[in-house]
Amino acid sequence: MTLYTAEAARVAAPPAALPVSGKLGMWLFLASEVILFGGLIASYVVMRLARPGWAAESAHLSVMLGAVNTAVLLTSSFSIVMAHRAVDREGAAVAARWLTLTVLLGLVFLCIKGIEWRGELGAGFAPSTGGFWSFYYTMTGLHALHVTAGIVINGILLLLAAAGRLAPVGRRVEFAGLYWHFVDIVWIFLFPLIYLI
């Protein structure tokens, strides 16, 4: 009888460990992303310090659009926190509304970034124009890809919540939130480095 109970406890243990292993997995993934963006940002800073002319290049960027995008991402950070809170307290329907707002704000960010790129490319500032523009398009493009991935992830969770099937995977909203906050933090570094300094 003791053997059976011990075996039952062992079999039941892995699902309880899922939130811990899922969160650890997300933190390890984000650590690899820090290395990627950290290397890019460090390279950009070194090159910018070595080339004073880059300040004149960055003056062509729209600080207003960059600031609006910053506000959009900060608001989306709030909405993903509220989605995570709703999973635990209010239920899937409320979580779905907050996830919808998060996805919409992510799409707004990408639209504004697309408007920016169109204007810059139309003015003749392509990645091949110079070192600043090469870094600009690489860093903001990579960031936009991460925003797109976050939109897809949150969109899938939104569909699950809307279908009433979020309960078994509700913890994943927290993991998606960690990723989304990382994307926001990266932008918090990119905005002043590229647009303001």
**Which three-class secondary structure string do you get for 137-192?**
HHHHHHHHHHHHHHHHHHHHHHHHHHCCCCHHHCHHHHHHHHHHHHHHHHHHHHHH
pLDDT at 54: 84
Within 13 Å and on the Cβ side, how many CA atoms surround 76?
32
DSSP 128: G
Confidence bin at 89 (pLDDT 50/70/90): confident
The closest alpha carbon to 113, from 136, 130, 80, belongs to 136
**Whether residue 74 has pLDDT greater than 90:** yes
Residue 13 predicted with pLDDT over 70: no
- 125 pLDDT more than 70: yes
Sign of CA dihedral 41, 43, 44, 50: positive
Degrees, nearest 5: CA angle 102-105-106:
85
- Domains, the chain, ordered by start: 34-196 (1.20.120.80)
Q: What is the pLDDT of residue 50?
A: 87
Between 92 and 98, the higher pLDDT residue: 98
Retrieve residue 134's tokens.
């090469």
Q: pLDDT class for 168, splitting at 50, 70, 90?
A: low
What angle do the packed helices 63-89 and 131-162 form, to 10 degrees?
A: 30
Q: What pTM was estimated for this model as a whole?
A: 0.84
d(CA 82, CA 86): 6
**pLDDT tens digits, residue range 23-43?**
788 888 889 899 999 999 999
